[in-house]
Structure 1
Protein backbone atom coordinates (compact mmCIF):
# COMPACT_ATOMS: atom_id res chain seq x y z
CA UNK A 1 0.00 0.00 0.00
CA UNK A 2 1.35 3.40 -0.96
CA UNK A 3 0.96 6.26 1.54
CA UNK A 4 0.98 9.76 0.09
CA UNK A 5 3.70 11.85 1.69
CA UNK A 6 4.44 15.56 1.86
CA UNK A 7 8.01 16.77 2.02
CA UNK A 8 9.26 18.58 5.11
CA UNK A 9 10.26 22.10 4.13
CA UNK A 10 13.11 23.41 6.25
CA UNK A 11 12.18 26.59 8.09
CA UNK A 12 13.50 29.97 6.98
CA UNK A 13 13.81 32.89 9.36
CA UNK A 14 14.33 36.46 8.20
CA UNK A 15 14.78 39.79 9.90
CA UNK A 16 11.61 41.71 10.83
CA UNK A 17 9.27 38.85 9.84
CA UNK A 18 5.71 38.92 11.18
CA UNK A 19 4.44 36.34 13.65
CA UNK A 20 2.02 35.11 11.00
CA UNK A 21 4.95 34.62 8.61
CA UNK A 22 6.77 32.60 11.25
CA UNK A 23 3.63 30.51 11.66
CA UNK A 24 3.62 29.86 7.90
CA UNK A 25 7.14 28.50 8.25
CA UNK A 26 5.93 26.26 11.06
CA UNK A 27 3.07 25.06 8.88
CA UNK A 28 5.25 24.41 5.82
CA UNK A 29 7.66 22.47 7.97
CA UNK A 30 4.72 20.71 9.61
CA UNK A 31 6.57 18.38 11.93
CA UNK A 32 7.03 17.92 15.67
CA UNK A 33 5.91 20.83 17.85
CA UNK A 34 6.06 23.50 15.15
CA UNK A 35 3.45 21.75 13.02
CA UNK A 36 1.13 21.28 15.96
CA UNK A 37 1.44 24.96 16.89
CA UNK A 38 0.65 26.01 13.30
CA UNK A 39 -2.40 23.75 13.13
CA UNK A 40 -3.65 25.14 16.45
CA UNK A 41 -3.27 28.70 15.17
CA UNK A 42 -5.18 27.92 11.97
CA UNK A 43 -7.93 26.23 13.96
CA UNK A 44 -8.17 29.15 16.39
CA UNK A 45 -8.73 31.57 13.51
CA UNK A 46 -11.27 29.23 11.93
CA UNK A 47 -13.24 28.90 15.17
CA UNK A 48 -13.36 32.66 15.70
CA UNK A 49 -14.38 33.25 12.07
CA UNK A 50 -17.19 30.68 12.27
CA UNK A 51 -20.28 32.81 12.84
CA UNK A 52 -22.38 30.00 14.32
CA UNK A 53 -19.70 28.83 16.74
CA UNK A 54 -19.69 29.84 20.39
CA UNK A 55 -16.26 29.55 21.96
CA UNK A 56 -15.87 28.27 25.50
CA UNK A 57 -12.43 28.95 26.96
CA UNK A 58 -11.02 27.30 30.08
CA UNK A 59 -7.97 28.59 31.91
CA UNK A 60 -6.15 26.68 34.65
CA UNK A 61 -2.80 27.32 36.28
CA UNK A 62 -1.25 30.74 36.99
CA UNK A 63 -2.12 32.34 33.65
CA UNK A 64 -2.75 35.82 35.09
CA UNK A 65 0.45 35.91 37.18
CA UNK A 66 2.18 34.53 34.08
CA UNK A 67 1.30 37.62 32.03
CA UNK A 68 -1.84 36.48 30.14
CA UNK A 69 -4.29 38.94 31.71
CA UNK A 70 -4.37 41.55 28.94
CA UNK A 71 -4.66 38.90 26.21
CA UNK A 72 -7.73 37.30 27.79
CA UNK A 73 -9.31 40.72 28.46
CA UNK A 74 -8.64 41.66 24.81
CA UNK A 75 -10.31 38.48 23.56
CA UNK A 76 -13.36 39.19 25.70
CA UNK A 77 -13.52 42.83 24.59
CA UNK A 78 -13.44 41.84 20.92
CA UNK A 79 -15.97 39.03 21.44
CA UNK A 80 -13.59 36.28 20.39
CA UNK A 81 -14.82 34.11 23.26
CA UNK A 82 -18.33 33.69 24.64
CA UNK A 83 -17.67 31.89 27.93
CA UNK A 84 -14.67 31.72 30.27
CA UNK A 85 -14.19 28.98 32.86
CA UNK A 86 -11.26 29.51 35.17
CA UNK A 87 -9.82 28.89 38.61
CA UNK A 88 -10.50 31.03 41.63
CA UNK A 89 -6.78 31.81 41.69
CA UNK A 90 -6.81 33.52 38.29
CA UNK A 91 -9.82 35.59 39.40
CA UNK A 92 -7.95 36.49 42.59
CA UNK A 93 -4.87 37.66 40.70
CA UNK A 94 -7.00 39.63 38.23
CA UNK A 95 -8.57 41.46 41.16
CA UNK A 96 -5.20 41.90 42.86
CA UNK A 97 -4.06 44.02 39.91
CA UNK A 98 -7.38 45.89 39.78
CA UNK A 99 -6.86 46.87 43.42
CA UNK A 100 -3.39 48.27 42.67
CA UNK A 101 -1.30 45.17 43.40
CA UNK A 102 1.31 43.80 41.05
CA UNK A 103 3.17 40.65 40.03
CA UNK A 104 6.95 40.85 39.96
CA UNK A 105 9.60 39.22 37.76
CA UNK A 106 12.52 37.55 39.50
CA UNK A 107 14.00 34.17 40.29
CA UNK A 108 16.68 32.40 42.28
CA UNK A 109 16.00 33.76 45.76
CA UNK A 110 15.84 31.49 48.79
CA UNK A 111 12.20 30.74 49.69
CA UNK A 112 12.79 31.08 53.42
CA UNK A 113 14.22 34.56 52.86
CA UNK A 114 11.23 35.39 50.68
CA UNK A 115 8.93 34.27 53.49
CA UNK A 116 10.68 36.61 55.97
CA UNK A 117 10.42 39.46 53.46
CA UNK A 118 6.67 38.94 53.05
CA UNK A 119 6.93 37.68 49.47
CA UNK A 120 5.15 34.67 47.96
CA UNK A 121 6.56 32.85 44.93
CA UNK A 122 4.73 31.33 41.95
CA UNK A 123 7.60 29.71 40.00
CA UNK A 124 9.48 32.82 38.76
CA UNK A 125 6.72 35.26 39.72
CA UNK A 126 6.70 37.06 43.07
CA UNK A 127 3.78 38.59 44.96
CA UNK A 128 3.85 40.81 48.04
CA UNK A 129 1.83 40.12 51.16
CA UNK A 130 1.03 43.84 51.39
CA UNK A 131 -0.86 43.61 48.10
CA UNK A 132 -2.98 40.76 49.46
CA UNK A 133 -3.81 42.84 52.53
CA UNK A 134 -5.19 45.52 50.20
CA UNK A 135 -6.99 42.78 48.27
CA UNK A 136 -8.61 41.59 51.51
CA UNK A 137 -9.82 45.11 52.36
CA UNK A 138 -11.18 45.88 48.90
CA UNK A 139 -12.91 42.55 48.26
CA UNK A 140 -14.67 42.75 51.62
CA UNK A 141 -16.02 46.17 50.66
CA UNK A 142 -17.46 44.58 47.51
CA UNK A 143 -18.84 41.59 49.43
CA UNK A 144 -20.55 44.03 51.80
CA UNK A 145 -22.23 45.85 48.90
CA UNK A 146 -23.45 42.59 47.40
CA UNK A 147 -24.66 41.26 50.74
CA UNK A 148 -26.79 44.35 51.29
CA UNK A 149 -28.12 44.11 47.73
CA UNK A 150 -29.18 40.49 48.34
CA UNK A 151 -30.60 41.15 51.80
CA UNK A 152 -34.26 40.79 50.84
CA UNK A 153 -36.90 38.04 51.11
CA UNK A 154 -36.63 37.26 47.39
CA UNK A 155 -32.89 36.51 47.20
CA UNK A 156 -32.32 35.40 50.81
CA UNK A 157 -28.63 36.20 50.37
CA UNK A 158 -28.21 33.47 47.74
CA UNK A 159 -26.12 34.11 44.61
CA UNK A 160 -24.53 31.92 41.93
CA UNK A 161 -20.78 32.04 41.33
CA UNK A 162 -21.39 33.34 37.81
CA UNK A 163 -23.58 36.19 39.09
CA UNK A 164 -21.14 36.97 41.89
CA UNK A 165 -18.29 37.40 39.39
CA UNK A 166 -20.49 39.49 37.08
CA UNK A 167 -21.45 41.83 39.92
CA UNK A 168 -17.84 42.19 41.04
CA UNK A 169 -16.85 42.98 37.45
CA UNK A 170 -19.43 45.77 37.29
CA UNK A 171 -18.14 47.34 40.50
CA UNK A 172 -14.40 47.43 39.75
CA UNK A 173 -13.04 50.17 37.48
CA UNK A 174 -10.17 48.67 35.49
CA UNK A 175 -10.20 48.45 31.69
CA UNK A 176 -7.52 45.73 31.75
CA UNK A 177 -9.48 43.49 34.11
CA UNK A 178 -10.81 40.19 32.83
CA UNK A 179 -13.76 40.41 35.22
CA UNK A 180 -14.60 43.98 34.25
CA UNK A 181 -14.43 43.36 30.50
CA UNK A 182 -16.56 40.25 30.89
CA UNK A 183 -19.18 42.14 32.89
CA UNK A 184 -19.54 45.05 30.46
CA UNK A 185 -19.54 42.77 27.38
CA UNK A 186 -21.86 40.14 28.89
CA UNK A 187 -19.35 37.32 28.64
CA UNK A 188 -20.12 34.71 31.29
CA UNK A 189 -17.37 33.65 33.68
CA UNK A 190 -17.61 30.46 35.73
CA UNK A 191 -15.22 29.41 38.51
CA UNK A 192 -16.45 26.07 39.89
CA UNK A 193 -13.40 25.74 42.18
CA UNK A 194 -13.64 29.28 43.56
CA UNK A 195 -13.41 28.18 47.20
CA UNK A 196 -9.91 26.83 46.52
CA UNK A 197 -8.40 30.33 46.28
CA UNK A 198 -7.68 33.46 48.28
CA UNK A 199 -10.95 34.88 46.97
CA UNK A 200 -12.79 31.83 48.31
CA UNK A 201 -11.03 32.13 51.67
CA UNK A 202 -12.11 35.76 52.03
CA UNK A 203 -15.65 34.83 51.01
CA UNK A 204 -15.76 32.08 53.65
CA UNK A 205 -14.51 34.51 56.32
CA UNK A 206 -17.07 37.12 55.24
CA UNK A 207 -19.95 34.64 55.51
CA UNK A 208 -19.16 33.97 59.17
CA UNK A 209 -21.14 37.08 60.10
CA UNK A 210 -22.87 38.11 56.87
CA UNK A 211 -25.68 36.66 54.79
CA UNK A 212 -24.04 35.73 51.49
CA UNK A 213 -24.51 32.19 50.18
CA UNK A 214 -23.09 30.69 46.99
CA UNK A 215 -25.37 28.39 45.00
CA UNK A 216 -23.02 26.23 42.90
CA UNK A 217 -25.80 24.19 41.26
CA UNK A 218 -27.46 27.39 40.03
CA UNK A 219 -24.47 27.94 37.74
CA UNK A 220 -25.22 24.69 35.93
CA UNK A 221 -28.71 25.86 35.02
CA UNK A 222 -27.24 28.89 33.25
CA UNK A 223 -24.27 27.01 31.79
CA UNK A 224 -26.54 24.36 30.29
CA UNK A 225 -28.66 27.09 28.69
CA UNK A 226 -25.53 28.53 27.07
CA UNK A 227 -24.64 25.09 25.70
CA UNK A 228 -28.11 24.47 24.27
CA UNK A 229 -28.21 27.96 22.71
CA UNK A 230 -24.98 27.29 20.79
CA UNK A 231 -25.31 25.99 17.24
CA UNK A 232 -21.69 24.85 17.37
CA UNK A 233 -19.25 24.77 20.28
CA UNK A 234 -15.54 25.49 20.10
CA UNK A 235 -13.14 25.01 22.98
CA UNK A 236 -9.87 26.64 23.99
CA UNK A 237 -8.19 24.84 26.89
CA UNK A 238 -5.20 26.44 28.57
CA UNK A 239 -4.12 23.81 31.06
CA UNK A 240 -6.41 21.18 32.51
CA UNK A 241 -7.91 20.52 35.92
CA UNK A 242 -11.41 21.50 37.02
CA UNK A 243 -11.88 24.30 34.42
CA UNK A 244 -11.18 21.91 31.54
CA UNK A 245 -13.47 19.16 32.79
CA UNK A 246 -16.29 21.53 33.82
CA UNK A 247 -16.28 22.92 30.28
CA UNK A 248 -16.00 19.62 28.44
CA UNK A 249 -18.50 17.73 30.57
CA UNK A 250 -21.12 20.42 30.05
CA UNK A 251 -20.90 20.02 26.27
CA UNK A 252 -22.21 16.47 26.68
CA UNK A 253 -25.64 18.07 26.65
CA UNK A 254 -25.11 18.98 22.97
CA UNK A 255 -23.16 15.91 21.88
CA UNK A 256 -19.72 17.36 22.55
CA UNK A 257 -17.31 19.89 21.09
CA UNK A 258 -17.27 20.62 17.38
CA UNK A 259 -13.69 21.92 17.48
CA UNK A 260 -11.09 22.57 20.17
CA UNK A 261 -7.51 23.52 20.95
CA UNK A 262 -5.62 22.28 23.98
CA UNK A 263 -2.30 23.54 25.33
CA UNK A 264 -0.98 21.63 28.32
CA UNK A 265 2.23 20.52 30.00
CA UNK A 266 0.58 17.46 31.53
CA UNK A 267 1.18 13.91 30.37
CA UNK A 268 -1.46 11.32 29.39
CA UNK A 269 0.14 8.27 31.02
CA UNK A 270 -1.38 8.82 34.46
CA UNK A 271 -4.92 8.83 33.08
CA UNK A 272 -5.66 12.30 34.44
CA UNK A 273 -7.94 14.60 32.46
CA UNK A 274 -5.33 17.37 32.45
CA UNK A 275 -2.98 15.35 30.27
CA UNK A 276 -5.58 13.54 28.20
CA UNK A 277 -5.46 14.31 24.46
CA UNK A 278 -8.67 15.85 23.16
CA UNK A 279 -9.32 12.78 21.02
CA UNK A 280 -9.98 10.78 24.18
CA UNK A 281 -13.02 13.00 24.75
CA UNK A 282 -14.72 11.42 21.71
CA UNK A 283 -15.16 8.17 23.66
CA UNK A 284 -17.17 10.13 26.26
CA UNK A 285 -19.10 12.24 23.71
CA UNK A 286 -17.41 15.34 25.13
CA UNK A 287 -16.03 15.89 21.62
CA UNK A 288 -18.01 14.88 18.56
CA UNK A 289 -16.83 12.16 16.23
CA UNK A 290 -15.42 14.09 13.29
CA UNK A 291 -14.61 17.15 15.41
CA UNK A 292 -11.54 19.22 14.52
CA UNK A 293 -9.04 18.99 17.41
CA UNK A 294 -5.52 20.29 18.00
CA UNK A 295 -3.26 19.28 20.89
CA UNK A 296 -0.09 21.17 21.74
CA UNK A 297 2.25 20.11 24.54
CA UNK A 298 3.95 23.10 26.13
CA UNK A 299 3.68 26.21 28.26
CA UNK A 300 0.48 28.11 27.45
CA UNK A 301 2.11 31.44 28.38
CA UNK A 302 4.53 30.89 25.48
CA UNK A 303 2.39 29.08 22.94
CA UNK A 304 -1.01 30.75 23.20
CA UNK A 305 0.26 34.34 22.64
CA UNK A 306 2.14 33.01 19.60
CA UNK A 307 -0.82 31.22 18.01
CA UNK A 308 -3.22 34.06 18.84
CA UNK A 309 -0.90 36.74 17.40
CA UNK A 310 -0.62 34.75 14.17
CA UNK A 311 -4.36 34.04 14.08
CA UNK A 312 -5.18 37.77 14.31
CA UNK A 313 -4.04 38.22 10.69
CA UNK A 314 -6.63 35.64 9.61
CA UNK A 315 -9.55 36.76 11.77
CA UNK A 316 -12.20 38.52 9.70
Structure 2
Protein backbone atom coordinates (compact mmCIF):
# COMPACT_ATOMS: atom_id res chain seq x y z
CA UNK A 1 0.00 0.00 0.00
CA UNK A 2 1.18 3.49 -0.86
CA UNK A 3 1.42 5.73 2.19
CA UNK A 4 1.53 9.44 2.83
CA UNK A 5 5.33 9.36 3.10
CA UNK A 6 5.68 8.14 -0.49
CA UNK A 7 3.14 10.71 -1.71
CA UNK A 8 4.88 13.57 0.07
CA UNK A 9 8.20 12.44 -1.45
CA UNK A 10 6.60 12.37 -4.91
CA UNK A 11 5.21 15.88 -4.37
CA UNK A 12 8.67 17.18 -3.55
CA UNK A 13 10.21 15.39 -6.55
CA UNK A 14 7.73 16.62 -9.16
CA UNK A 15 7.43 20.19 -7.85
CA UNK A 16 8.53 22.58 -10.57
CA UNK A 17 7.67 20.06 -13.30
CA UNK A 18 3.87 20.02 -12.85
CA UNK A 19 1.21 22.58 -11.95
CA UNK A 20 -0.33 22.90 -8.50
CA UNK A 21 -3.82 23.10 -9.96
CA UNK A 22 -6.56 25.29 -8.47
CA UNK A 23 -9.01 23.98 -5.89
CA UNK A 24 -12.11 26.16 -6.14
CA UNK A 25 -15.70 26.29 -4.90
CA UNK A 26 -18.20 26.01 -7.75
CA UNK A 27 -21.24 28.25 -7.29
CA UNK A 28 -22.88 26.80 -10.40
CA UNK A 29 -22.54 23.17 -9.32
CA UNK A 30 -23.47 24.04 -5.75
CA UNK A 31 -26.73 25.56 -7.00
CA UNK A 32 -27.34 22.58 -9.27
CA UNK A 33 -26.76 19.92 -6.60
CA UNK A 34 -28.11 22.07 -3.75
CA UNK A 35 -25.04 21.31 -1.59
CA UNK A 36 -21.60 22.96 -1.51
CA UNK A 37 -19.32 21.66 -4.28
CA UNK A 38 -15.55 22.12 -4.52
CA UNK A 39 -13.60 21.15 -7.65
CA UNK A 40 -9.94 20.19 -8.02
CA UNK A 41 -9.13 21.35 -11.55
CA UNK A 42 -6.73 18.76 -12.93
CA UNK A 43 -7.91 19.59 -16.44
CA UNK A 44 -5.62 22.65 -16.06
CA UNK A 45 -2.62 20.39 -15.43
CA UNK A 46 0.20 20.09 -17.96
CA UNK A 47 -0.97 17.86 -20.83
CA UNK A 48 -4.62 18.49 -19.85
CA UNK A 49 -4.99 15.81 -17.16
CA UNK A 50 -3.64 14.54 -13.85
CA UNK A 51 -1.56 11.97 -15.73
CA UNK A 52 1.42 14.33 -15.92
CA UNK A 53 1.98 13.83 -12.20
CA UNK A 54 2.46 10.06 -12.22
CA UNK A 55 4.41 10.10 -15.46
CA UNK A 56 6.81 12.71 -14.09
CA UNK A 57 7.26 10.88 -10.80
CA UNK A 58 8.18 7.69 -12.65
CA UNK A 59 10.47 9.38 -15.17
CA UNK A 60 12.39 11.15 -12.40
CA UNK A 61 12.94 7.81 -10.63
CA UNK A 62 14.74 6.19 -13.60
CA UNK A 63 18.37 5.13 -13.42
CA UNK A 64 20.82 6.54 -15.96
CA UNK A 65 20.72 3.24 -17.86
CA UNK A 66 16.92 3.25 -17.98
CA UNK A 67 16.89 6.85 -19.19
CA UNK A 68 19.35 5.99 -21.94
CA UNK A 69 17.33 2.96 -23.10
CA UNK A 70 14.04 4.86 -23.17
CA UNK A 71 10.54 4.20 -21.87
CA UNK A 72 7.30 2.75 -23.20
CA UNK A 73 3.73 3.53 -22.18
CA UNK A 74 0.34 2.04 -23.01
CA UNK A 75 -2.63 4.35 -23.06
CA UNK A 76 -6.16 5.07 -24.17
CA UNK A 77 -5.15 8.70 -24.53
CA UNK A 78 -4.16 10.86 -21.57
CA UNK A 79 -1.37 8.72 -20.12
CA UNK A 80 0.27 8.52 -23.53
CA UNK A 81 0.13 12.30 -23.92
CA UNK A 82 1.60 12.78 -20.46
CA UNK A 83 4.47 10.33 -20.96
CA UNK A 84 5.27 11.77 -24.39
CA UNK A 85 5.30 15.41 -23.25
CA UNK A 86 7.03 14.89 -19.91
CA UNK A 87 9.62 12.51 -21.38
CA UNK A 88 10.48 15.13 -23.99
CA UNK A 89 10.81 17.75 -21.25
CA UNK A 90 13.17 15.46 -19.33
CA UNK A 91 15.12 14.36 -22.43
CA UNK A 92 14.02 10.72 -22.32
CA UNK A 93 13.08 8.83 -25.49
CA UNK A 94 9.49 7.55 -25.34
CA UNK A 95 7.39 5.02 -27.23
CA UNK A 96 3.61 5.21 -26.73
CA UNK A 97 1.31 2.31 -27.62
CA UNK A 98 -2.38 3.12 -28.13
CA UNK A 99 -5.42 1.26 -29.47
CA UNK A 100 -6.88 2.60 -32.69
CA UNK A 101 -9.93 3.69 -30.67
CA UNK A 102 -7.82 6.33 -28.89
CA UNK A 103 -8.84 9.91 -29.70
CA UNK A 104 -7.00 11.08 -32.86
CA UNK A 105 -5.97 14.26 -31.10
CA UNK A 106 -4.25 12.20 -28.39
CA UNK A 107 -2.24 10.34 -31.02
CA UNK A 108 -1.30 13.59 -32.75
CA UNK A 109 -0.27 15.25 -29.50
CA UNK A 110 1.99 12.34 -28.50
CA UNK A 111 3.61 12.38 -31.95
CA UNK A 112 4.06 16.16 -31.88
CA UNK A 113 5.87 15.80 -28.55
CA UNK A 114 8.40 13.54 -30.24
CA UNK A 115 7.25 10.12 -29.06
CA UNK A 116 7.18 7.09 -31.34
CA UNK A 117 3.49 6.10 -31.44
CA UNK A 118 2.46 2.51 -32.15
CA UNK A 119 -1.22 1.69 -32.79
CA UNK A 120 -2.91 -1.66 -32.15
CA UNK A 121 -6.38 -3.01 -32.87
CA UNK A 122 -7.48 -2.99 -29.22
CA UNK A 123 -6.27 -2.43 -25.68
CA UNK A 124 -5.40 -6.09 -25.17
CA UNK A 125 -3.14 -5.89 -28.21
CA UNK A 126 -1.60 -2.70 -26.85
CA UNK A 127 -0.62 -4.37 -23.59
CA UNK A 128 0.78 -7.36 -25.51
CA UNK A 129 2.96 -5.11 -27.67
CA UNK A 130 4.22 -3.27 -24.61
CA UNK A 131 5.34 -6.58 -23.11
CA UNK A 132 7.40 -7.27 -26.23
CA UNK A 133 8.95 -3.80 -26.14
CA UNK A 134 9.88 -4.31 -22.49
CA UNK A 135 11.66 -7.50 -23.51
CA UNK A 136 13.65 -5.36 -25.96
CA UNK A 137 14.92 -3.21 -23.08
CA UNK A 138 12.44 -0.34 -22.70
CA UNK A 139 11.25 0.60 -19.21
CA UNK A 140 7.49 0.51 -18.76
CA UNK A 141 5.76 3.59 -17.39
CA UNK A 142 2.56 1.79 -16.45
CA UNK A 143 -0.59 3.92 -16.26
CA UNK A 144 -1.62 2.50 -12.88
CA UNK A 145 0.27 -0.62 -11.75
CA UNK A 146 3.36 1.18 -10.47
CA UNK A 147 3.99 2.55 -6.95
CA UNK A 148 5.85 5.59 -8.30
CA UNK A 149 2.96 6.46 -10.61
CA UNK A 150 0.35 5.99 -7.88
CA UNK A 151 2.35 8.15 -5.48
CA UNK A 152 2.54 10.83 -8.19
CA UNK A 153 -1.21 10.72 -8.73
CA UNK A 154 -1.64 10.85 -4.97
CA UNK A 155 -0.28 14.39 -4.98
CA UNK A 156 -3.72 15.41 -6.31
CA UNK A 157 -5.23 14.24 -3.03
CA UNK A 158 -2.47 15.84 -1.00
CA UNK A 159 -3.19 19.24 -2.57
CA UNK A 160 -6.95 18.75 -2.30
CA UNK A 161 -6.65 17.99 1.42
CA UNK A 162 -4.53 21.11 1.95
CA UNK A 163 -6.51 23.53 -0.22
CA UNK A 164 -10.20 22.57 0.09
CA UNK A 165 -12.57 23.75 2.79
CA UNK A 166 -14.84 21.37 4.64
CA UNK A 167 -15.72 18.23 2.66
CA UNK A 168 -17.71 15.10 3.45
CA UNK A 169 -17.50 13.19 0.16
CA UNK A 170 -14.96 13.15 -2.69
CA UNK A 171 -15.63 11.59 -6.09
CA UNK A 172 -12.82 10.29 -8.31
CA UNK A 173 -13.04 8.68 -11.76
CA UNK A 174 -11.57 5.20 -12.22
CA UNK A 175 -9.88 3.64 -15.24
CA UNK A 176 -7.16 1.33 -13.98
CA UNK A 177 -7.38 2.90 -10.54
CA UNK A 178 -4.06 4.75 -10.22
CA UNK A 179 -5.67 8.13 -9.52
CA UNK A 180 -8.18 6.94 -6.94
CA UNK A 181 -5.59 4.73 -5.24
CA UNK A 182 -3.24 7.67 -4.76
CA UNK A 183 -5.96 10.17 -3.88
CA UNK A 184 -7.56 7.78 -1.39
CA UNK A 185 -4.21 7.12 0.28
CA UNK A 186 -3.55 10.85 0.66
CA UNK A 187 -7.04 11.73 1.86
CA UNK A 188 -7.21 8.82 4.30
CA UNK A 189 -3.99 10.13 5.88
CA UNK A 190 -4.92 13.81 5.91
CA UNK A 191 -8.74 13.74 6.21
CA UNK A 192 -9.66 10.31 7.58
CA UNK A 193 -13.37 11.10 8.05
CA UNK A 194 -13.99 11.69 4.34
CA UNK A 195 -16.00 9.25 2.25
CA UNK A 196 -14.32 8.52 -1.10
CA UNK A 197 -16.40 7.31 -4.06
CA UNK A 198 -15.13 5.88 -7.32
CA UNK A 199 -16.90 6.42 -10.64
CA UNK A 200 -16.74 4.26 -13.79
CA UNK A 201 -18.68 4.22 -17.05
CA UNK A 202 -20.66 1.22 -18.30
CA UNK A 203 -18.42 -0.87 -20.50
CA UNK A 204 -15.31 0.22 -18.58
CA UNK A 205 -16.07 -1.44 -15.26
CA UNK A 206 -12.74 -3.00 -14.35
CA UNK A 207 -12.78 -1.93 -10.69
CA UNK A 208 -16.42 -2.64 -9.87
CA UNK A 209 -16.09 -6.08 -11.46
CA UNK A 210 -12.91 -6.69 -9.48
CA UNK A 211 -14.65 -5.74 -6.23
CA UNK A 212 -17.47 -8.15 -7.04
CA UNK A 213 -15.00 -10.93 -7.85
CA UNK A 214 -12.67 -10.34 -4.90
CA UNK A 215 -9.71 -9.39 -7.09
CA UNK A 216 -8.71 -8.16 -10.55
CA UNK A 217 -10.46 -9.82 -13.48
CA UNK A 218 -10.35 -9.12 -17.23
CA UNK A 219 -13.32 -7.17 -18.55
CA UNK A 220 -14.78 -6.60 -21.99
CA UNK A 221 -14.54 -2.95 -23.01
CA UNK A 222 -17.34 -1.14 -24.84
CA UNK A 223 -17.49 2.37 -23.32
CA UNK A 224 -16.86 5.37 -25.56
CA UNK A 225 -14.77 6.75 -22.69
CA UNK A 226 -11.44 5.33 -23.82
CA UNK A 227 -9.52 7.21 -21.14
CA UNK A 228 -11.24 5.03 -18.50
CA UNK A 229 -11.04 1.79 -20.49
CA UNK A 230 -8.56 -0.46 -18.70
CA UNK A 231 -8.85 -4.19 -19.52
CA UNK A 232 -8.26 -4.98 -15.84
CA UNK A 233 -7.20 -3.14 -12.72
CA UNK A 234 -3.97 -4.06 -10.95
CA UNK A 235 -3.73 -5.88 -7.64
CA UNK A 236 -2.18 -2.75 -6.16
CA UNK A 237 -5.00 -0.42 -7.19
CA UNK A 238 -7.61 -3.01 -6.23
CA UNK A 239 -6.14 -3.31 -2.74
CA UNK A 240 -6.32 0.46 -2.21
CA UNK A 241 -9.92 0.74 -3.42
CA UNK A 242 -11.10 -2.30 -1.48
CA UNK A 243 -9.63 -0.87 1.71
CA UNK A 244 -10.21 2.86 1.34
CA UNK A 245 -13.13 3.60 -1.00
CA UNK A 246 -16.78 3.69 0.03
CA UNK A 247 -18.21 2.33 -3.23
CA UNK A 248 -17.69 2.42 -6.99
CA UNK A 249 -20.64 3.90 -8.90
CA UNK A 250 -21.21 3.06 -12.58
CA UNK A 251 -22.60 5.66 -14.98
CA UNK A 252 -23.92 5.09 -18.53
CA UNK A 253 -21.92 6.70 -21.34
CA UNK A 254 -24.88 8.95 -22.18
CA UNK A 255 -24.90 10.39 -18.65
CA UNK A 256 -21.13 10.90 -18.74
CA UNK A 257 -21.39 12.93 -21.95
CA UNK A 258 -24.38 14.85 -20.59
CA UNK A 259 -22.34 15.49 -17.44
CA UNK A 260 -19.62 17.12 -19.53
CA UNK A 261 -22.19 19.37 -21.20
CA UNK A 262 -23.66 20.34 -17.84
CA UNK A 263 -20.19 21.04 -16.42
CA UNK A 264 -19.54 23.36 -19.36
CA UNK A 265 -22.79 25.22 -18.81
CA UNK A 266 -22.94 25.38 -15.01
CA UNK A 267 -19.28 25.19 -13.93
CA UNK A 268 -17.70 26.80 -17.01
CA UNK A 269 -15.39 23.77 -17.35
CA UNK A 270 -14.54 22.00 -20.61
CA UNK A 271 -14.18 18.39 -19.52
CA UNK A 272 -13.94 15.01 -21.17
CA UNK A 273 -16.58 12.36 -20.30
CA UNK A 274 -14.09 10.71 -17.93
CA UNK A 275 -14.72 13.77 -15.74
CA UNK A 276 -18.31 14.33 -16.88
CA UNK A 277 -19.31 11.03 -15.28
CA UNK A 278 -18.65 12.58 -11.85
CA UNK A 279 -21.72 14.79 -12.04
CA UNK A 280 -24.45 12.13 -12.29
CA UNK A 281 -22.56 10.11 -9.68
CA UNK A 282 -22.48 13.15 -7.38
CA UNK A 283 -26.26 13.42 -7.67
CA UNK A 284 -26.54 9.82 -6.45
CA UNK A 285 -24.18 10.48 -3.56
CA UNK A 286 -26.18 13.53 -2.45
CA UNK A 287 -29.40 11.51 -2.62
CA UNK A 288 -27.79 8.81 -0.50
CA UNK A 289 -26.04 10.86 2.18
CA UNK A 290 -28.44 13.80 2.40
CA UNK A 291 -28.37 17.57 2.37
CA UNK A 292 -25.46 17.81 4.79
CA UNK A 293 -23.07 16.65 2.09
CA UNK A 294 -20.14 18.82 1.03
CA UNK A 295 -18.94 17.40 -2.27
CA UNK A 296 -15.44 17.38 -3.72
CA UNK A 297 -14.88 16.53 -7.38
CA UNK A 298 -11.49 15.61 -8.87
CA UNK A 299 -11.99 17.00 -12.38
CA UNK A 300 -9.45 14.69 -13.94
CA UNK A 301 -9.06 15.95 -17.51
CA UNK A 302 -10.24 18.06 -20.41
CA UNK A 303 -8.73 16.43 -23.48
CA UNK A 304 -11.88 16.26 -25.61
CA UNK A 305 -12.17 18.22 -28.83
CA UNK A 306 -15.22 20.17 -29.94
CA UNK A 307 -15.68 17.57 -32.68
CA UNK A 308 -15.61 14.76 -30.09
CA UNK A 309 -18.28 16.40 -27.96
CA UNK A 310 -20.46 17.25 -30.95
CA UNK A 311 -20.33 13.64 -32.18
CA UNK A 312 -21.08 12.16 -28.74
CA UNK A 313 -23.94 14.59 -28.14
CA UNK A 314 -25.48 13.70 -31.50
CA UNK A 315 -25.03 9.97 -30.83
CA UNK A 316 -27.03 10.21 -27.59
CA UNK A 317 -29.53 12.82 -28.73
CA UNK A 318 -28.22 15.50 -26.41
CA UNK A 319 -28.38 19.23 -27.09
TM-score, normalization by structure 1: 0.31
Larger radius of gyration: 1
Higher RCO (CA < 8 A, seq sep 6+):
1
